[in-house]
A and B are shown apart, each in its own frame.
Chain A
Amino acid sequence: DAGITQSPRHKVTETGTPVTLRCHQTENHRYMYWYRQDPGHGLRLIHYSYGVKDTDKGEVSDGYSVSRSKTEDFLLTLESATSSQTSVYFCATSGEIFTGELFFGEGSRLTVL
């Protein structure tokens, strides 16, 4: 257990509003990731971070931005939420030596009306 907490766990919002999801880890892991899970698509990478202030895009990054000002926190922001961003969002981390094993948070369910 990598001590990963996501907040909020559930959120309902309206189209066009900004939304920020927070991921907090207590394991001092270098790498952090945001995935979204959708039926028929599995888990898709949105953005990832390989260190403080070092982030990069994943395969479905449009409409999302991230920030990492501290090792333990990784924020995912939807500047103007759309219904297509209704999903379950998972944060994940991995340690200094990347073996492929990720530690996931419990997920944040976002509904955009």
Chain B
Amino acid sequence: DQQVKQNSPSLSVQEGRISILNCDYTNSMFDYFLWYKKYPAEGPTFLISISSIKDKNEDGRFTVFLNKSAKHLSLHIVPSQPGDSAVYFCAARDNTDKLIFGTGTRLQVFP
């Protein structure tokens, strides 16, 4: 059973516009959430995180929102740039300190 779900396998956005990537989870014991970015033929790299005690965290063009009641988080990228084209994974930390990853969303930013 998938505890962390990314229901959109792909997303296409025009350069300069906002990209919104979504993630849903089922386990209310998750206490920390992260987003990773992955380019082809490379390992994932950490992008941004949020603790379950917060509802928003911002880092430059990237903002993560957490809605605990809905068990939903989202990543906003504003403005989107062609270099943002990658696969994005959301992840959640469980009560044994392991990360559970979603299936990923492939973002394409076109000119």
Contact = CB atoms under 8 A, between A and B. Distances in A.
Contacts, number: 51
Given A42-B101, A45-B98, A90-B44, A101 B89 contact: no
Q: What class of interface size applies to chain B in its complex with A?
A: 20 to 34
Nearest to B97: A98
B43 A58 contact: no
A87 to B, nearest CB: 14
Interface string A71-97: 000000000000000000010100000
Q: How large is the interface on A (under 10, 10 to 19, 20 to 34, 35 or more residues)?
A: 20 to 34
Contacts of B104: 42
A43 to B, nearest CB: 4
A93 B104 CA distance: 20
A71 B6 CA distance: 34
A41 B2 CA distance: 9
- Which among A4, A43, A90 has the highest number of chain B CB atoms within 10 Å? A43
